Amino acid sequence: MQPAVRTNLTASATESLRSEILSGRWGIGERVPNEATLSDLLSVSRGTVREAVRVLVSQGLLDTRQGSGTYVRSTIDSSAALDRVKRTGLRDQWEARAALDLEAARLAALRRTPADLDQMRRLLAERGNAADGGSEAFVRRDLAFHKSVVAASGNRAMMELYDFFTAAITETIHATIDGELPEPDQQAHAAIVDAIAASDPDRAVAAVRAFMAPVLAQLERLLSQ
Amino acid sequence: MQPAVRTNLTASATESLRSEILSGRWGIGERVPNEATLSDLLSVSRGTVREAVRVLVSQGLLDTRQGSGTYVRSTIDSSAALDRVKRTGLRDQWEARAALDLEAARLAALRRTPADLDQMRRLLAERGNAADGGSEAFVRRDLAFHKSVVAASGNRAMMELYDFFTAAITETIHATIDGELPEPDQQAHAAIVDAIAASDPDRAVAAVRAFMAPVLAQLERLLSQ
DNA sequence: ATTCATCAAGTCATCAGATGACTTGATGAA
DNA sequence: TTCATCAAGTCATCTGATGACTTGATGAAT
């Protein structure tokens, strides 16, 4: 059956306003109608208009100035990109992070400093193979190591994204398949460090790919159920 | 002089709430205090609380359910992550996008449907080699092709990120080194499609890497000046 | 003629109160 | 045990009011 339409006045008002802005009805810097007028145009109360406007302000599309009016700041909607990424599936997020892991390892092999290398080796040693101090602490130590590899790439954009994906993936896994993924052993981790230490980008990529394959395979198996 | 602090109750309330959520005061799926209580806690009216909550809902942190309450949906602040990525350098953003290009081409080689292949070939043909219709139109056609490769990977997270990076990179390039990057020719593009058509992931990765190398080298040269 | 303080209208910011719609757990009859 | 009913709690929405701020007009002082 067709699901009943659950309407939400504020959401409708927000989308109406957004589409008017994106369509260019008002140019950048131009003033949009005041709250009372928008209230009439959208047939909702001023409070609802204010909530809609506030959302668009937070997304960088509008700009309110007390005593003056509300103005169009931008007609490009880019703020929701990562929100949409969060709503994609676990497999997609995992693969995207793996793409970062791969290229970061390659760049790390080309650029790592001795300090980077020390850091990676230290974190790998601290990581341990067993779940000392609880699985949560172990996951945290494991992530610290992987992040140090990305950090050795010297690429801040990839570091930021890696953090984002790690948080998003952790959240999703907790909500779904908690704790059923295989954990590559210390040797698989060491292979990555060795390749980076040897400044061998191709071997670094191969090591990460070998590392990822069994985890991704298990992930696909779990998700297909 | 220190600019006078212009405070805005709704913004303050939003940030207070956001930091409480990010700090983990309420776990995911947990219910936050009701509007009246938040109104007391934050010392603002219910209307202001509603505006703050609405913003956090639009950013994916909260979730309101009429008749039931307001719940924590996520503790990841993706809007801030994007801002930080935007502030990284052009080289970092380019490399991050290249990481997506590489893995997307590999996945596309494994998963592309005949329809994907048709789409890629059509867009590559439309792209042309010369700047017919102006360089801006050419860039648009070029991007449409590259996006079709990412689309063939079947990974929505990578598509969203690719769009974001493309917008960010375009913006930065316009503001800085406009039009001085080498443009790989039709043959380099065709090599990618051929590898994907042959379902050869390794060759697809190699083709993209060969494609990227000269552009990235020139980019580094320009940025080092 | 120019400068500048003052003022009034318009606008957003915020508050308070009220009603409606919806969810959820408790209650009690079948 | 099952299921309809109910009451309390919560968000959704509206209405009216007051305060704070911006802006252009006005007019006096220079």
Digit-coded pLDDT (tens) for A49-97: 999 999 999 998 999 999 999 999 888 776 778 878 888 989 999 999 9
pTM of the model: 0.80
Alpha-carbon Rg for chain B, nearest whole angstrom, is 23
Q: Do A58 and B60 count as a contact with CB atoms less than 8 A apart?
A: no
With cut-offs at 50, 70 and 90, classify the pLDDT of residue A140. confident
The hierarchical CATH code for the domain A9-72 is 1.10.10.10
- Per the prediction, chain B carries an average pLDDT of 88
Indicate whether B6 pLDDT > 70: no
Question: Does any strand D atom come closer than 7 Å to the Cβ of B47?
Answer: yes
Give the pLDDT confidence of A99-119 residue by residue, as tens digits: 999 999 999 999 999 999 999
- Section B87-102 average pLDDT: 93
Angle at B138 between CA B216 and CA B82, to 5 degrees: 55
Give the pLDDT confidence of B98-148 residue by residue, as tens digits: 999 999 999 999 999 999 999 999 999 988 766 666 777 888 888 999 999
A71 SS3 class: strand
pLDDT computed for residue A3 by the predictor: 45
User: Measured in Å, how far apart are chain A's first and last C-alpha atoms?
Assistant: 25
Task: Report the run of H or E that residue A99 belongs to, with start and end.
Answer: helix A90-111
What residues pair up with A31 in beta bridges, in sequence order?
Answer: A71
Which of chain C's bases lie under 7 Å from a protein CB? 9-18, 20-24
With cut-offs at 50, 70 and 90, classify the pLDDT of residue B171. confident
pLDDT computed for residue B84 by the predictor: 86
- Separation CA B62–CA B71 (nearest Å): 6
Q: b/e map of B105-141 (b: 16 or more CB within 10 Å)?
A: bbbbbeebeeebbebbeebbeebeeeeeeeeeebbeb
pLDDT computed for residue A162 by the predictor: 95
pLDDT computed for residue B138 by the predictor: 81
User: Measured in Å, how far apart are chain B's first and last C-alpha atoms?
Assistant: 35
Question: Does any strand D atom come closer than 7 Å to the Cβ of B51?
Answer: no
Give the pLDDT confidence of B8-28 residue by residue, as tens digits: 899 999 999 999 999 999 999
- Section B188-215 average pLDDT: 91
With cut-offs at 50, 70 and 90, classify the pLDDT of residue B181. confident
- Separation CA A123–CA A136 (nearest Å): 16
Residue A215 near residue A184 (C-beta atoms within 8 A): yes
Q: Residues of chain B with pLDDT > 90: what percent?
A: 62
* Chain A residues lying within 8 Å of B216, measured CB to CB: none
Q: Is B86 exposed, middle or buried (0-12, 13-18, 19+ CB in 10 A)?
A: middle
Least confident of A94-98, A194-198, B185-189: B185-189
A120 SS3 class: helix
What residues pair up with A32 in beta bridges, in sequence order?
Answer: A70
Q: Do B95 and A160 count as a contact with CB atoms less than 8 A apart?
A: no
Structure tokens at B163: 């769009």
- Section A28-47 average pLDDT: 93
- Which of B59, B99, B157 lies closest to A92 in CB terms? B157
Pairing of strands B62-65, B69-72: antiparallel
- Which of A58, A89, A158 lies closest to B92 in CB terms? A158
Q: Residues of chain A with pLDDT > 70: what percent?
A: 92
Residue of B nearest to A167 (CA): B76
- Section A158-181 average pLDDT: 83
Indicate whether B179 pLDDT > 90: no
Place of tokens 């341990």: A128
A113 SS3 class: coil
With cut-offs at 50, 70 and 90, classify the pLDDT of residue A131. low
What does the domain layout of chain A look like in residue ranges?
Answer: 9-72, 81-224
With cut-offs at 50, 70 and 90, classify the pLDDT of residue B37. very high
B157 SS3 class: helix
DSSP 8-state class, residue B160? H
Residue A138 near residue A132 (C-beta atoms within 8 A): yes
Question: Does any strand D atom come closer than 7 Å to the Cβ of A9?
Answer: yes
CA-closest candidate to residue A175, choices B21, B37, B30: B30
pLDDT computed for residue B49 by the predictor: 96
* Chain A residues lying within 8 Å of B84, measured CB to CB: 156, 160
- Per the prediction, chain A carries an average pLDDT of 88
Structure tokens at B221: 């040269």
- Cβ atoms within 10 Å, residue B147: 17
pLDDT computed for residue B129 by the predictor: 64
User: Which CATH fold would you assign to the domain A81-224?
Assistant: Four Helix Bundle (Hemerythrin (Met), subunit A) (1.20.120)
Question: Does any strand C atom come closer than 7 Å to the Cβ of B65?
Answer: yes
pLDDT computed for residue A130 by the predictor: 64
With cut-offs at 50, 70 and 90, classify the pLDDT of residue A1. very low
Test mutation, B160, B162, B219, chain A, max A CBs within 10 A: B160
CATH architecture group of domain B9-76 = Orthogonal Bundle (1.10)
How many residues would you count in chain A? 225
What residues pair up with B63 in beta bridges, in sequence order?
Answer: B71
- Section B75-102 average pLDDT: 89
* Chain A residues lying within 8 Å of B91, measured CB to CB: 155
B112 SS3 class: coil
Structure tokens at A103: 């290229």
Test mutation, A44, A161, A169, A223, chain B, max B CBs within 10 A: A161
More confident residue, B115 or A176: B115
